[in-house]
């Protein structure tokens, strides 16, 4: 069984910074891609950023230059540093980890429970 647990989030003023973390644990052989999505009220869930096991990154245009995704493979943990936050960044942020349970086996996507980020003065 695999658990993915997020931490961080909260209320921040426009222009401020906030960090999120996401740790995977359990019966893990390997982790391929990790990433963050977000869902604002009344909107569909959208990609924020992803990172491969070798550190390759991909960002949504709306967060490029403001958000940074990183990971610590030894700790099966990913991070999202969010700077210059805007009210439109307000959403529930979900992390995922694509986990392989056995050597040369398929990877399955596991999701965190979501954490609220609110950008408001």
Mean pLDDT on 99-111: 96
What pLDDT sits at residue 42? 94
CA–CA gap between residue 9 and residue 13 (Å, rounded): 12
Read off φ and ψ for residue 74, nearest 5 degrees: -65, -30
Question: What is the share, in percent, of the chain residues with pLDDT greater than 90?
Answer: 100
Question: What is the share, in percent, of the chain residues with pLDDT greater than 70?
Answer: 100
Please, which pLDDT band fits residue 23 given cuts at 50, 70 and 90? very high
Taking the CA atoms of the chain, what radius of gyration do you get in angstroms? Answer: 14
Query: Within 13 Å and on the Cβ side, how many CA atoms surround 116?
Result: 5
Query: Nearest Cα to 31, choosing from 51, 10, 17, 48?
Result: 51
For the stretch 45-92, pLDDT in tens is 999 999 999 999 999 999 999 999 999 999 999 999 999 999 999 999
What pLDDT sits at residue 10? 97
């Amino acid at each position: 069984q695999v658990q993915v647990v997020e931490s961080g989030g909260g209320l921040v003023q426009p222009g401020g910074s906030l960090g999120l973390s996401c740790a995977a644990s359990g019966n893990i052989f390997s982790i391929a891609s990790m990433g963050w999505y977000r869902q604002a009220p009344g909107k569909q869930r959208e990609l924020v950023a992803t990172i491969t096991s070798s550190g390759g990154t991909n960002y949504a245009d709306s967060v490029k230059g403001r958000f940074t995704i990183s990971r610590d493979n030894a700790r099966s943990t990913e991070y999202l540093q969010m700077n210059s936050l805007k009210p439109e960044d307000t959403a529930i942020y979900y992390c995922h980890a694509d986990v392989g349970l056995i050597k040369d086996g398929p990877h399955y996507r596991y999701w965190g429970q979501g954490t609220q980020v609110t950008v408001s003065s």
